[in-house]
Amino acid sequence: MISTELKKVILKQLNLDDFDLQDETTAPQVPGWDSLNHINIILAVEEHFKVKFKSYELLRLKCVGDLQKLVDSKLGR
């Protein structure tokens, strides 16, 4: 399940007031989530959660749920 915290970070970067992000949501399904904003979202998530992602970790991400799992693994959750 996507945490409220991660959802807020993503929506803030996309300038969206609300969007129903689910585990299986992919970038093309979200308004404004293009390749440039993808980079901005990843940087914002790293900054917010005080984590660093490796390139190969990011290449494995297929949906928002995968990003949540990656953040959780970095935070030891």
Domain coordinates in residue numbering, the chain: 4-74
1 to 39, 46, 55, 66: CA distances (angstroms): 22, 19, 24, 10
- The Cα–Cα gap between 29 and 48 comes to 23
CATH T-level fold of 4-74: 1.10.1200
Rounded to two decimals, what is the model's pTM? Answer: 0.93
- pLDDT digits 0-9 by tens, 4-17: 999 999 999 999 99
Q: Per the structure block, which two tokens stand in for 48?
A: 């917010």
The pLDDT of residue 77: 85
- pLDDT digits 0-9 by tens, 25-58: 999 999 999 999 999 999 999 999 999 999 999 9
The pLDDT of residue 14: 97
